[in-house]
């Protein structure tokens, strides 16, 4: 999976646009890069646009353990993450949303950018 990170100052948020196949290793590398960029720029909101993802791979246990790994790589509680996805990947990302919510992360999944931005900037 490839990704591009953009920093916006007004309003303050980070945007990540992904493409390709989302697998466990690339996703964790991306999460580390996002955490570093957020820390460096003192940002607490992230929009991740996964609409160019062609396939999502991985085991359920990997998704289940993702919040633990977030903490290990430095993703802090209190940040907001809005993920825009393709409908065919909803099952995977909705499960991630549920797991993150139960572990204290504010992560919401959307099918369209506009409602994602409204939620993120609220």
Give the CA dihedral 62, 63, 68, 69, nearest 10 degrees.
60
Residue 5 contacts residue 16 (beta carbons within 8 Å): yes
Which pLDDT score, from 0 to 100, does residue 41 have? Answer: 95
Name the residue ranges covered by the structural domains of the chain.
2-121
Q: Which fold has domain 2-121?
A: Transcription Regulator spoIIAA (3.30.750)
Which pLDDT score, from 0 to 100, does residue 59 have? Answer: 80
Which pLDDT score, from 0 to 100, does residue 38 have? Answer: 93
Residue 84 contacts residue 110 (beta carbons within 8 Å): yes
The mean pLDDT values, 10 residues at a time, for the chain of 122 residues are 96 97 91 92 96 90 82 78 96 93 93 98 94
């Amino acid at each position: 999976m490839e990704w591009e990170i953009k920093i916006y100052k007004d309003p303050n948020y980070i945007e990540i646009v992904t493409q390709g196949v989302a697998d466990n290793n690339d996703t964790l590398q991306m999460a580390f890069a996002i955490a570093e960029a957020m820390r460096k720029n003192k940002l607490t909101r992230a929009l991740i646009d996964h609409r160019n993802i062609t396939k999502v791979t991985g085991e359920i246990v990997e998704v289940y353990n993702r919040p633990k790994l977030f903490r290990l790589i430095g993703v802090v509680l209190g940040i907001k993450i809005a993920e825009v996805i393709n409908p065919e990947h909803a099952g995977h990302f909705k499960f991630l949303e549920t797991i993150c919510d139960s572990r204290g992360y504010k992560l919401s999944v959307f099918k369209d950018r506009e409602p994602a931005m409204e939620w993120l900037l609220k």
